[in-house]
Structure formats: C-alpha cells, structure tokens
Structure 1
Amino acid sequence: MGRKSDAPPFRVGLVGTGYIADWHAKALGAARGASLVAACDLDLARAEAFGRRHGARAYGSLEAMIGDEANPLDAVHVLLPPDRHAAAASAAIRAGKHVFLEKPMAVDAEECSGLIGEAAARGVAIGVNHNFLFAPNYEQFRGDVRSGRLGRLDRLTVTWHRGLDQLLSGPPDIWMLRDPRNIMLEIGPHCLAPVLDLLGPLEVIGVHASNRMTLEGGRPFYRRWSVEGEAGGVAVSLHLSFAQGFTEQTIHARGSVAAGTVDYERDTYLLHRHSPYSLDFDRYRMIREDAGAMAAQARRTLAGSVLSKLKLSSRGNPYGLSIARAVQAFYAGMGGAVDPRLSAELGRDLIAACAAIGREGAGEPAAAAGGEPEPVATPREAGGEGAAAATPAEVLVLGATGFIGRELARQLLASGRRIRLLVRSPGKLPADLRGPGVEVVRGDLTRAEDLGRALGGIKAVYHLARANVKTWEEYTEQEIEATRRVAEACLARGVGRLIYTGTIDSYYAGGKAGTITEDTPLDPQIAWRNLYARAKAASEGLLMDLHRDRGLPVVIFRPGIVIGRGSSPLHWGVGMWSWNSVCQVWGRGDNPLPLVLVEDVASALVAALEVPGIEGESFNLVADTDLTASDYLAALEEHAGASFQKLPTAPWRFYAADVAKWAVKQMVRHPDRRRPSYRDWESRTQRARFDCTKARNLLNWRPVCDREEIIRRGIQQPASQFLS
C-alpha cells in the first residue's frame, strides 16, 4: 500500500553540497510528498551557502544533521564520492532514515548487499538513482522495446564518448583515478543500467581497454574501453572513450522489425521503421520521418527550457528533468512497490557487472602498470608526526591548489624555502608538492581557527585563494570578508609581508583605455563590472585601507591573461568557449592580448619576498607581446591539428544577449538579476596596452616576450596535455 495523499511530506536532508546537490534541491522543490530541510558538508561554508540558496539548515557533518532533534529527517540523499557512499548510507539507515543514493550504489557488491540487509532489518527504503533511466527519451525507447515494437532484439549498442576533464584538472587523488578499474564503477553504471533494465544480467564475453596514460605515482588510466557481451540472448556492445573530443551518448537497438536510437546529449529518440513503399521511396520516407521527428523534438526541448526559465513549466533541462522524475518516483513508491529502475538490487547487480569489466580490462593495478604503482605521497601536515624535527616553514601559501598557486609553490621550493599550504583537500595537491619542504594545514581560510593554525611561525603570506561562488552575497563573504580576515590575522601575528593577487580585470580595458600602468585607477565604474572583477577591486581597497591606517605590509599583484603548463589552452581570456570547439572571440580579435606565462607570474611573486620597501605598492604583470586572439587560435589549431569554430563577436552582441536574459530574470523575479553592463563586455576585448616598467625596475622582472616561446610554452604545451 502506498503512502496516503494527505500525509505530511517527507523531510529530506542532503549529504554533500557539490554540483549535483543543486539538481536534487530543485527536484525536491518540484516533488510531491518530499521537502528539503537540511544539508551537510564537511565544508561548512559551502553547506551554509547552499542552505541559503535553498532554504535548508546547514550542518558540518552527517552525524550533526541526522542527530538534530529540532530538525528531524525522514530521508537522506547521499551525494558523496563513491567510496563514501556505503558508510554514509549505513549511518543514515541505522538512524532509521530512508536513503536515496546517486550512482554508483557503493564500490563493491558486498557493500551493496550489506546496505540492502541493513535497510530490510530497519524497515526503511533504499533507492539508487541511475539518472538516465528516467529521461523521457529513454522511457519512450524502453516502452517500444518492451511492447515488441522493435520486434525481437538482435543487438544493443551503448556509446559513451565524453572527455574526462578530471584527467587534466584533477584533483589527482579523486577516487575514480586511484585505480584503473574505478572508472568503470564510476561511469559504467550509466552505460550498463539500460542493458540490465531492458535485458537482465549481462554475460561479459570480452573487454579491451586501450589508449593508456600514466597518472601521478605511475598509476595507469585507460581512456578507451570496448566491451562485448550477451544479455537475454541479445548481443551487447559498449564503447566508452574519455579522451577529449566530440560528445556522444547514445543507445541503439536493432530489432527484427525496427530499430531505435536514444541520443541523451541532444535529448532525442528516433524509431526507424520501414514503409510499404519500394526501396527508393522507402529510403526517402524514412529519412523524412527521422528529420521531422528530430525537428519536432528539438523544438520541444528548446520550448521546455525557455518555459522553465519563465517558471511556466517544470520540465526544464533534460538532465534535471530525469533527476526530478527519479526523485518523484522514489517518494511516490514509498511504502509500496519500488520502481525497479530505482531498486537496490539493480544497483548491486550493476556494481558486480562493472567490477567484472574493470578487472578483465585493467587487471590488477600492479599488472596494469607493469609493476607496483608508486603510491601518491601523503603531504606532511603541520604539527603532525616528525614536524618538530624539521625546519619550520616561514612562508604560507593560500590557494596552492590553483593554477598560479601550484607554480608559485614549486618555485618557492626550488629557491630553497620551506613552505606551508592551507588547503581544504590535501589530495588536490600534485605529487611534487607532497614531499620534503612542504607542510600542509588542512582547513579553510574562512575559519579563524584554521587560519590561526596555519599562521604559526609564518613571516610571509601569499593570498591567491579564489572563491568558487556565483552571487554577490557569496563573493562578499568568501572573497572580500575572507581577505579581511586574512589581513587582520597577519596584523595580529606580526607577519612581515602579505602578498595578494588581484586581476587586471578590475581595470577598464576597452577601446578608450589607452595605456595602463599602476598609476591608472581601477575601473571607476567597477559597480557595473562582473562580480569577480568587482570583488577583487573591493579586496584591494580594504587591503590598502589597512596599509594606510594600520601599517599592513601588503603588496598587490595583478596578473594579465595567464597561460602555460597546467592550464587549458581553451582560454577564456581569448573568448567564450562552448563545447571545447567553438570560440566566440571577445571583439575582432586583432589587438595584442595582455598575455603572460604562469612561470613569469610566479617568479615575480617570489621576487617580492626579497625586495625591501615595496609595502603598499602594486604591480601589473603582463608580457610585452604582439600576439592577438586570432594569432593564439591559429597557433592552437596548427598544433592540435583541429579546426575550431572562430567567431569574432562585437561586445554589443554579448550585451544584447545579456539584456535578453536579464529581461527573463526580471519577469520571473530571479534572485540574480543584475542589470547588464555594456562596459563589462567591452572591457573583455582587452584593447588597452599595459606598461609594466615598474615591475621590471623594482623586481628585476624579465618575463618571456618572444612570440615563438610564448606560443611553445603558453599554447602548445597545454594543448599537448589537454588534447592528447
């Protein structure tokens, strides 16, 4: 028997507030019978920001959330990395809560079976979301297969071709990269879920993993997988590629009387059937029917997205819609029959099949690597075992996991300095920042106690940390106020120098800017600029106030468009990139860009430690080069062997699109409906010239300006990493 329609809604808490949590919050907002009331994350600041967006109470741990009697929960959604699924789900089940997990259910079938047993013993429901199983196009395909509309199936082919950005951006110790088999447990359920849903258990006949690359510590990763098997008498083929390239996510079934194709990426489903006509007319009729169906579905998808933004429809984004439908099905079936697509048994069977594929394709880690993989070194935490015997660090780097921060830390180590890093997740540090000479404090600079631990014995602080936020309220708290707290702590501890990185984006750099030096004021109309530029300018302002009023020994740097190793060659300083293949260039693309190599930025920051008497000064860091956006893209194309779509775009076109979006936001009373700024779009063209004589003279800064060397180190090297 299902739940009574007049029963109060289930009170739901989310464990983990990363990217997918926003989709679950939206799904719960549209679901009948469930309401989001709580969220927890080890990063309490992130949980609090999430809670403000969605009206949920924030907690710093699962234990605190499920133990709060003033805010009781009925159900918990587990949205954590896969290796933490079982422990979190088990804790929630023991507390008597229903559990809804994002795939994969756990990391092995034994863990899954344990959760099933615990849930049965406690009398609570457990469901697993395999998101694409609730996409409307898949449901239509599923109905056609089950009704026999395709006839007797002969072959089912699943394609998953999506570049895996984490291979480039890390962090290097995330679970799916720790073992070459893990990727099949992470992504494999997406591909196998429709197979098991439609056909039942899969017998794996052959697996081939190829396009091997070596990650940190000698760990292998295979970017291409091919799997052949059989399920229910039907031949099954899986093709996966994680190399950068055109995205394809499809399921194709060949039957005895028809064929069907689901395209998840473009949100379509086509049923291919013959007509009663002769060959030529039959071919014509089939093509016309396919084209008509594609056009109709394209209009439907676009209309659904537009109406959703206008709050006239709950359909919205296909990805979000499928999550919403899965969440709705879970709560609708509570106390009655569970939709088999959500069943824990399906989740367990999928993990067993994915694990078998991983073992056959990648083997044991040592065998796949040609020897025992070198473990990723664990950073020595400040105050930990052996810390007292070592020479203590005197330089603290905030933001060492970022692009510039990593290079700065490397150069500080190369100069013989011992450094300390304050990071939320030490696992995000690359291998060369995990060895001797590096201390790590695990924590968040927004928390006074973490910052205090990090500052012990420190003489100089680099503040390069950047908040990953969206709203001005979040920028105010996590960028501006966080910078204030860092500065106040430096004053209280008597730190000798605070080195802060701002951005040239805080200048107006449009067609009327002329030549910019450090004497040029930041954009006097900064309130009309993007939130990042505005927040950085506000942080600079408060730091200079503290310098004048209380003697804060601060030095400010404003790097230009920073390029080089460790960054994507599809740089947004050149233009707005879409799909890794389309670049809308800021303006005509014929003016020299303010480029600078990351190594040169770091060298200037290191030099600032030694130069006396520069407190209260600011330095712009831009190389003297004539490389334009057009030149940049031409060099990238030549090295990559690819032709990108290059669209020089006048600022007014970006502005007009922004105005249209703003009008929609005004209509729906969207919380983020800032008035668009033409000045901000025009400034992105970077038509100003930068005179960095001050940095050259006072810091003896000598950046690479040679055109060919900038192309080699700033474009070709990143492209070799990114596009290989």
Structure 2
Amino acid sequence: MSPKRIGLVGAGYIASWHADAIGATQGATLAAICDPSDGAAQALAEPSGVPVFASLDALIDSRTCDAVHILTPPHLHLALGLQALEAGLDVLIEKPVAENAEETRQLAAAAAASCARFSPGHNFLGLPSYDRLKRMIGQGDLGRVSGIEVTWALPLAPLRSGPYNIWLLREPRNLLLELGPHLAAFAVDLFGPLEVIATDVSKPVMLPGDDPRPQSIRILARAGHVDVTLTLSMVETVDDRSVTLRGSSGRARLDFAADTLVVERENASDLVVNPLRRQLDLARQHAREGLRNGWIQTRSLNTRGPYAQSFRGMCAAIYGAAEDGRYSAEAAVQAMQALDDALALVPAEKLTPKAPAVATRAPRPTALVIGGTGFIGRALTRGLVAGGTDVRVLSRGRHGPFPDLPDNVETVGVSLKDRAQLVQAMDGISEVYNLARALGTSWEDCLENDVKPAVTIAEAALEAGVSRLVYTGTIASYDMSDPAATITETTGFPGDMTGRNLYARSKAECERRLTAMHRDRGLPLTIARPGIVVGPGGPLQHWGIGRWHGAGAVRIWGSGDNILPFVLNDDVADGLILMARSDAALGEDFNLIGEPMLSARGYFRAIHDRLGAKIRVSSGNLTAFWAADAIKAMLKRHALGRANVIRPTRADWISRAHLSRFANDKPKEVLGWRPESSREAFLLKAVDRAGLFGF
C-alpha cells in the first residue's frame, strides 16, 4: 500500500513539528507545503524538497496530496477544512478544530458526506505514557476510577507582554478554546462526553486599553460516575501539565509535558514499613521514568522530546492500519461541546471584550514606529502620544495594542522587505523609529531577515525624505567580558564578530551598514543601544540576566554580583524621542543605560523582599556553558548534519555576564536625558508595578 501523501496548510511554528512527525511515520509522507507566505513555505519545504503552493485551491488542483493538516489560525479552520473535505481529502485540524461545537459538527458532517476522515489535532493523546495509562485503566490496575483532574498550569507570556493582535487574545473565550482542547480531550477519550456543572474564571489581567482577560479557568464536570476537574492557569507558576486519576486501587499521575507516568498504590505492610514502602516505590518509578527519558534524549540527540513524541504518536495512530477512536470526528465534537458548555456558564460580561474607544478624528501621524507592538515599542508609542505626536505603527497585521488611542495611533501592515510599501508608509512622517529585530538560526537567516530589512527601511527613509531615522541596536554587540573596562560610546565593537552570538553579530552588522549610509549618502541616522530593559509589561524571565528554568529558578550568567546595565522601559522611550529631535544627535550613537543600582542577585532579592516570591538563584559557570555549547554544536554538525551551526566563543559567553561597567554620560549631556536615579522609584516601576507574576 502506498504511503498517504500529506500536505501542510500553514507554515508557521507548529508546522515543523508536524513535518517531523510525518517523516517519522510509517505509511505517511510529506508531499506539499501550502502558505501564502512564500518565504515561510519555502523554508519548511526545502529540507524535503516538496512543492510549495500559495493557496489550498492550488494544492487541491495539483492532486499531490491524499490528506492535509490544517495549521492556520483557528478562525480559518472551518472554511479550509470544509474545502479540503469536500475535495475528498482526509483532514487533520490543529486544535481548536473550530471556534465552537456547531462548526465542528459541520466538519464532521462534511467528512461523512465525502467519505473522508476528519481528525482533531489533540497531539498529547499520542504520548507513549498516555498509551500506558490507558492500558492500566483497561486492565483495572487503578481499580474503579472515581475522579480525574486535568491541569494546564503554564505561564502565557502574550497576556502580559504581547503580541496582542493574535487570535488567542482577541476575545476572552479564545483562551479556553485555544488551550482547553488539550484538557477536554483527555477526559473525553477516557470517559466519554462531559456534563459540565460549573465554570469559574479569575485572576484577570488587563490588556492595553484596560481590556481584561482571565488567567485562571476551572471547570467542574462529570463523565458518568467520574468527577472531572479541568484547571487552566496562565500566571507565572511551576509548570504542571498533568492528568491525575484517582481509583480504588491506585492514584496515577501522567505528566504529559514530560511524558512520565507514576502510580501511587497501597501496600499490605504495617506501621512505619507501609509509608516507607510507598515512598520507595514512588522513588523507583520516578527514577525509571527519568532514566527512560534520559536514554531516549541521549540516543536521539535531543530530537525526540515529549512534545515531538506526542506528534509522532498522533500521526502513527491516525495513519496506522487500525482506526483509532481518540482521533475521531465524534471525539472532536464532544471535546468542543464541553468547552462550549463551560463558556455558557460564565457571565457574559466576563467574556465580552471591551469595545475599543470611539474615534473622533483620523490620526495625523508624523512619527512612524516599526516594531511598535513590542515591549519598547508600546512604551515609545504611548510616550509619543502623551507628548502630542500622532503615530503610525507598522505591524504584521492591522490590529495593534492601542485600542484606547484611536484618534492618535493607526496600525498598518507592511512588509519590511518591500521598499515601495515602506516609502508609502512614511508619507507625512518626519521621524522613524526602527525597533524591529529578527532572530535567525543561521547567519544567512540574519542577513536576509534582520540586516536586509534594516537597510531597506533606511533606503525608504532616504527616498521619503524623513528628518530622522532612529535605529535600535544592542549593548550585546560590545565585548563586556572585562570587569576592569568601562564602556562608552567611543568603545568599538570587536573587529571580528564571527565568534559572537547571532543576535549581537546581526545588530552590529546593521549598525555598520547604516553608518556607512549616513557617511556616504546622508542618511539622517541616530543609533540607540538600550541596556537590560525592565518595567511594566516586561517579562519576569529576562534572558539578559540568566538562563531560566520556569518562573521559579534561574541560573545567572556568571556570579551575579556585578552591577548590571538595567534601564526602565519608559526611560528608554524618553531617550529615543530625544534622539529623534535633537540636532546634536544626528549621526551619533547613545547607550541608554540607567543609573548603576542593581546586580542580578540584588534584582532577585528585591523581588523576594517586595513581592514575597523567592526565586531559586544559582551562579552560572560561563566556561562550562561555553564547553557544553561546543559539544552540542559538534553533535549537531556531525551527527545531525547541520553544517551551518554557529558556536559562539568563550569570550562571547563571558560577555553575557555584563562584567564591564557602562557610563551613561553622553545621552545625559547631549540629550538632557534623565533616567530614574531613585532606587525606590526604580524598584517601584521595575518590580512592584511590572506585573512580573501576572497577578
């Protein structure tokens, strides 16, 4: 029997996991990629050499596929799914398969009418540990099961730091529709349809424009004689994505994020031997699960983690010889119906997004902010508006985080590689702020997606005749490995940047090319290099400080005792505005570093003292980091065949500790910039009001 030819509709982040799983599945082969973005589609298609299509119509007409995986944003699922099913293709749709149960029923009906197969992308049901759990239940090893608790407790960064224009955040209900299928799918697969009894939403967080979203959702339900609790928590918390089953003979806990299964059972011993045996048995099981996963990761060179295993298991089940009920259309309908029923029990006012402010006039922008939806960009845009300047924000979409400023801010979608579009976007603009950045996985990626857009923006600025282009580089481009050095704007970057991390190297290359355009062609350029930026809307898990392990543990770059170049977000915004409007700033560069106040350890002590949250802080040996990175790079090159792997030097790793001091005299003297000098006021903004834990 020939392998099933599968096309991927949507070439975003999740598509690479599907492509890997299809490649590892017997009876399936990747046949095509479909996405209106040719660059994204080509990048995904290149390793396997499959054709690329710009539309589902073109893919269907090509007859290259027997099935498709629909991986687009959820509001597109219904139309694309119906189109593929009516064409006779089998369809797998990423969760949520649709925006409600009724749409899911339409997909199921279309599949039945065309004799095609419709499967929900509930990937965690494909984990090996979940297979073991189902066998245990079937064999009666847990006895008679009376209750199941399914928990998804994982911080959701976009709630506090954006991007805010994604489908996930458009309405409060979308949070449950996006993450809830993972929870409902387990309960439905194990015990059937759910009767929802109650739903509680709490811990609201305010999106821009004072538009609340719940960060905690709890659903109480029943499935026959089994009590069901579904818990969704999106605040900063210890990662707990688990299924806990209580039975008369044992309690099982499946950690579906780690692919581990541990069962706690009674034993017949007396007195102290009973609890001792219980704990020894649990210790044995934990050791077994850890060793099993360690062996899998070692053998696969870290390419078969639990998440990858879940997709592989899902594809193996769907494209296997036998029909697997866990991925049936009926299961998809039951899971979505449970979520609909849960949402129906929430007061309407808690699910209704705040209406955007009513515009009284059209914005008259004279400032253009590229990257205005990001952390610094949002503060900059609001700072400009507060000073009386209307702003045009460039974004991937037409929705931005400024619903309360319709008179002053307009958001437009423009490609940063399209010079003509950029020139049009700069019509009437006097000052342009380029805060965009792209993180590539190779130097070629950086040149194409970071350096090239920076140059194209500069070319457009020259053509449009803007009065100032402010470009944001990074202090990471400096060599900060010498504790005795003090860095000023006269300090040059290393002559050879090839041994630096890609972000530092790419930003330095952007600066080099833009500076040449200023010198040779009169580009009205000023360069800003912000330090470690903190403040409201910023992340707790700032990777400029150390390597994070969830919200509760961080390994600092170095000892953590040296003063770090912290700076408040609002101060950066003020500095950027001053740079755009000062004649003395033309052709100059400025390091926007706050007053010296805190070390990394001092920052975490302040969080503990002021918020009562003690984060486990440990020193990071940067030479050890470098050595481990060197080993990983070697394995990637020689065992996985990735010839373009970048390996930063030891000096680059040591530089991440920010051992060198910074002087901020130049922006204060030339611009009159005044970063916060009061430690108490700084901590009030950087810690107390920053929303670091989400509630």
TM range (shorter): over 0.9
Q: Say whether residues 1:692 and 2:692 are aligned partners.
A: no
Query: Match of 1:456, SS?
Result: coil
8 Å contact kept, 2:217–2:232: yes
Query: Match of 1:722, SS?
Result: coil
Query: Match of 2:376, SS?
Result: helix
Residue 17 of structure 2: aligned partner: 23
Closer/same/farther in 2, CA of residues 506 and 66 from structure 1, 3 Å limit: farther
8 Å contact kept, 2:446–2:506: yes
Tell me how far 1:431 sits from its aligned partner. 2.8
Closer/same/farther in 2, CA of residues 587 and 28 from structure 1, 3 Å limit: same
Q: Among residues 164, 169, 174, which one is paired with 1:172 in the alignment?
A: 164
8 Å contact kept, 2:362–2:407: no
Tell me the distance in 2 between the aligned counterparts of 1:14 and 1:581: 37
Residue 49 of structure 1: aligned partner: 43
Tell me how far 1:27 sits from its aligned partner. 0.6
Query: Match of 1:427, SS?
Result: coil
Deviates more, 1:210-219 or 1:233-242: 210-219
Residue 313 of structure 2: aligned partner: 325
Q: Among residues 650, 660, 676, which one is paired with 1:678 in the alignment?
A: 650
Alpha-carbon displacement from aligned partner over 1:378-419 (angstroms, at most 9, x marks no partner): 9x9xxxxx9xx8574232211101111111111111222222
Tell me the distance in 1 between the aligned counterparts of 2:308 and 2:566: 38
Residue 652 of structure 1: aligned partner: 623
Residue 532 of structure 2: aligned partner: 561
Q: Among residues 557, 573, 577, which one is paired with 1:606 in the alignment?
A: 577
The TM-score normalised by the length of structure 1 is 0.90
Tell me the distance in 1 between the aligned counterparts of 2:129 and 2:374: 39
Residue 522 of structure 2: aligned partner: 551
Tell me the distance in 1 between the aligned counterparts of 2:268 and 2:692: 53
Q: For 1:381-400, what aligned pairs fall within 5 Å after superposition?
A: 390=362, 392-400=364-372
Residue 198 of structure 1: aligned partner: 190
Residue 485 of structure 1: aligned partner: 456
Alpha-carbon displacement from aligned partner over 1:519-562 (angstroms, at most 9, x marks no partner): 21112232111100100011111111112222222111111111
Tell me how far 1:611 sits from its aligned partner. 1.7
Tell me how far 1:270 sits from its aligned partner. 2.2
Deviates more, 1:240-249 or 1:174-183: 174-183
Q: Say whether residues 1:243 and 2:235 are aligned partners.
A: yes
Query: Match of 1:47, SS?
Result: helix
Tell me the distance in 2 between the aligned counterparts of 1:63 and 1:327: 24
Query: Match of 2:581, SS?
Result: coil
Closer/same/farther in 2, CA of residues 590 and 214 from structure 1, 3 Å limit: closer
Q: Which amino acid aligns with 2:674?
A: R
Q: Say whether residues 1:705 and 2:677 are aligned partners.
A: yes
8 Å contact kept, 1:273–1:286: yes
Q: Say whether residues 1:597 and 2:568 are aligned partners.
A: yes
Q: Among residues 341, 347, 356, which one is paired with 1:363 in the alignment?
A: 347
Q: Among residues 325, 331, 340, which one is paired with 1:340 in the alignment?
A: 325
Tell me the distance in 1 between the aligned counterparts of 2:105 and 2:482: 65
Closer/same/farther in 2, CA of residues 545 and 664 from structure 1, 3 Å limit: same
Query: Match of 1:526, SS?
Result: coil
Q: Among residues 625, 632, 641, which one is paired with 2:612 in the alignment?
A: 641
8 Å contact kept, 1:103–1:129: yes
Tell me the distance in 2 between the aligned counterparts of 1:257 and 1:568: 44
Residue 226 of structure 1: aligned partner: 218
Q: Which amino acid aligns with 2:64?
A: P
8 Å contact kept, 2:565–2:662: yes
Deviates more, 1:350-359 or 1:255-264: 255-264
Alpha-carbon displacement from aligned partner over 1:170-223 (angstroms, at most 9, x marks no partner): 333544444443333222222222222121122223333333445455654333
Q: Which amino acid aligns with 2:18?
A: H
Q: Which amino acid aligns with 1:317?
A: G
Tell me how far 1:117 sits from its aligned partner. 1.7
Query: Match of 1:713, SS?
Result: helix
Q: Among residues 385, 397, 415, which one is paired with 1:425 in the alignment?
A: 397
Closer/same/farther in 2, CA of residues 682 and 403 from structure 1, 3 Å limit: same
Residue 133 of structure 1: aligned partner: 125
8 Å contact kept, 1:181–1:359: no
Query: Match of 1:105, SS?
Result: coil
Q: For 1:435-474, what aligned pairs fall within 5 Å after superposition?
A: 435-474=406-445
Closer/same/farther in 2, CA of residues 698 and 425 from structure 1, 3 Å limit: same
Q: Which amino acid aligns with 1:156?
A: I
Deviates more, 1:502-511 or 1:705-714: 705-714
Closer/same/farther in 2, CA of residues 625 and 127 from structure 1, 3 Å limit: same
Closer/same/farther in 2, CA of residues 568 and 477 from structure 1, 3 Å limit: same
Query: Match of 1:541, SS?
Result: helix
Tell me how far 1:289 sits from its aligned partner. 2.2
Alpha-carbon displacement from aligned partner over 1:583-608 (angstroms, at most 9, x marks no partner): 11121222211121111211121112
Residue 374 of structure 1: aligned partner: 354
Tell me the distance in 2 between the aligned counterparts of 1:259 and 1:586: 41
Alpha-carbon displacement from aligned partner over 1:447-487 (angstroms, at most 9, x marks no partner): 33432331223332211111143322211101011111111
Query: Match of 1:32, SS?
Result: coil
8 Å contact kept, 1:625–1:706: no
Deviates more, 1:145-154 or 1:134-143: 145-154
The TM-score normalised by the length of structure 2 is 0.94
Tell me the distance in 1 between the aligned counterparts of 2:79 and 2:182: 22
Alpha-carbon displacement from aligned partner over 1:547-578 (angstroms, at most 9, x marks no partner): 22222221111111111121013322222211
Q: For 1:73-112, what aligned pairs fall within 5 Å after superposition?
A: 73-112=65-104
Query: Match of 2:262, SS?
Result: strand
Alpha-carbon displacement from aligned partner over 1:82-105 (angstroms, at most 9, x marks no partner): 222212212222333221111222
Tell me the distance in 1 between the aligned counterparts of 2:680 and 2:582: 31
8 Å contact kept, 2:430–2:467: yes
Closer/same/farther in 2, CA of residues 675 and 263 from structure 1, 3 Å limit: closer
Tell me how far 1:230 sits from its aligned partner. 2.3
Tell me the distance in 1 between the aligned counterparts of 2:626 and 2:543: 17
Q: Among residues 349, 360, 384, which one is paired with 1:412 in the alignment?
A: 384
Query: Match of 2:152, SS?
Result: strand
8 Å contact kept, 1:217–1:373: no
Q: Which runs of 5+ in 2 are unaligned?
A: none
Tell me the distance in 2 between the aligned counterparts of 1:692 and 1:475: 29
Q: Among residues 468, 471, 474, which one is paired with 1:497 in the alignment?
A: 468
Tell me the distance in 2 between the aligned counterparts of 1:196 and 1:392: 53
Closer/same/farther in 2, CA of residues 484 and 176 from structure 1, 3 Å limit: closer
Residue 554 of structure 2: aligned partner: 583
Tell me how far 1:672 sits from its aligned partner. 4.4
Q: Which amino acid aligns with 2:661?
A: R
Tell me the distance in 2 between the aligned counterparts of 1:711 and 1:131: 42
Q: Say whether residues 1:570 and 2:570 are aligned partners.
A: no
Q: Say whether residues 1:149 and 2:141 are aligned partners.
A: yes
Closer/same/farther in 2, CA of residues 18 and 637 from structure 1, 3 Å limit: farther
8 Å contact kept, 1:181–1:358: yes
Query: Match of 1:485, SS?
Result: helix
Tell me how far 1:503 sits from its aligned partner. 0.8
The percentage of aligned residue pairs carrying the same residue is 38
Deviates more, 1:299-308 or 1:166-175: 166-175
Q: CA RMSD in A?
A: 2.5
Query: Match of 1:527, SS?
Result: coil
